[in-house]
Amino acid sequence: MTARAEQRVRHRRRVTRRRTVIGGAAALGITGATIVTTTMLSSAGAATSWPAATGSTAVPSTIEVSDTYDGGLRKFYGKGALGTDGQSENQSPIFKLKDGATLKNVIIGTPAADGVHCTGSCTLQNVWWLDVGEDAATFKGTSSSAQYKVVGGGAKKADDKVLQFNGAGTLTVSGFQVEDFGKLVRSCGNCRTQYKRTIVLEDIDVTAPGKMIAGLNSNYGDTATLSKIRIHGDSKKKIKVCSRFEGNNTGKEPKELGTGADGKSCKFSDPDVTYE
């Protein structure tokens, strides 16, 4: 092969690699060179680094979203009435999504108030929580056909729950990463109105310390299906992968019934969870 031919081959390879990276970002609705270079995707699909904010916005009152809100990877944080990051159950969120809405390319800083609320089906795409307040996101739809999707993104520093599943329907989380947390997903254990809830977790990076990946109410027919779960820094396997509770609608603390795969409520096998 001549020197000129070798140069053409190297050029084609560089173009192919560039198209691969940009195409993966476009699939997530991400635009801009800063985002492409700071939020790379692993071969498995989950994000492997945290993005740099393109700017910051203080939020004094909840931002309501009825269609699609693209934050351009700006950091949003609460001020005034939303300037809290405690564990109160009655806090307002930074973003409130109506049925069918999409929130994407957003970094939620601190104070984070109560993060994001979905009142019906919603999509959270490439959303990042730097320091979870009460909860990162709460799903509150009442229809059994509601679909909540969390695609990409990540959360850290959650004293308790990251994703709080209060409503009905199916919550699917994919390509997500979580670290320093209490519970990644918890089906509400003592809400006044209870539902059957379906949880699907796939392609998730979990970094210790943490307590539980999925918690559900087996007595209400909840299920959790897990695959491609990678747990980092937990050689003693202290993080519970999936736990079953006896939920109630009286407000009492729910009783934990057991943990681990059972083929009925907690659905996964040994190859679905790896320790790295």
- Is the pLDDT at 211 greater than 50? The verdict is yes
- Is the pLDDT at 9 greater than 60? The verdict is no
Structure letter (DSSP) for residue 119 = S
- Is the pLDDT at 276 greater than 80? The verdict is yes
Return the CATH fold of 32-275: Pectate Lyase C-like (2.160.20)
Q: How far apart are CA 87 and CA 44, in angstroms?
A: 34
Q: Which two tokens stand for residue 140?
A: 């509150």
Nearest to 205 by CA among 187, 226, 236: 226
Instruction: Give me the residue spans of the domains in the chain.
Output: 1-30, 32-275
pLDDT tens per residue, range 116-137: 999 999 999 999 999 997 899 9
Q: Which two tokens stand for residue 253?
A: 């603390």
Q: How far apart are CA 234 and CA 51, in angstroms?
A: 25
pLDDT tens per residue, range 36-86: 333 334 434 454 689 999 999 999 999 999 999 999 999 999 999 898 755
